Amino acid sequence: MDDALVDAFLHQVIIGGRVNGTFTSKAYDDIVKELVEKFDMEINKDKSKPAAKKWMTTPIPNCSMMAQLWAKDRAKGDHAEIAKEKHARYATLTTIDEIDNLISQNEVSLENFEAEDDQR
């Protein structure tokens, strides 16, 4: 059933049921209809509310720290870039001046940098 739910959400993304990162009410209704047809069962939000209410009031330990670890990176601003873009930019660095510029901006560090010959 989990696979069917994920497939239904992905289908809604493909057909435009997700606008600005949020699913529309019609998308949710279509997902419910698809699951009802597929599994021949009744889905009623009144039945799910008592179970969901428990989780609305239950504190989750370290929630903010976990969000920092696993939340999607939402880089914003003129100079913002995601890790993939930053990695690609670092891979193209060829001159010492470019590397010195990154060090001066505290974007990279050469701390604990040892050449292989130094390790014995």
Please write the tens of the pLDDT for every residue from 61-88: 887 777 766 666 566 677 777 777 777 8
* The model scores a pTM over 0.85: no
Q: Quote the CA–CA distance of 2 and 8 in Å, as a whole number.
A: 10
Per-residue pLDDT tens, the chain, 120 aa: give them.
678 888 898 899 889 888 887 889 999 999 989 988 988 888 776 666 666 677 778 887 887 777 766 666 566 677 777 777 777 877 776 677 877 887 787 776 766 555 555 554
CA–CA distances in Å: residue 8 to residues 52, 86, 99, 105: 21, 34, 47, 45
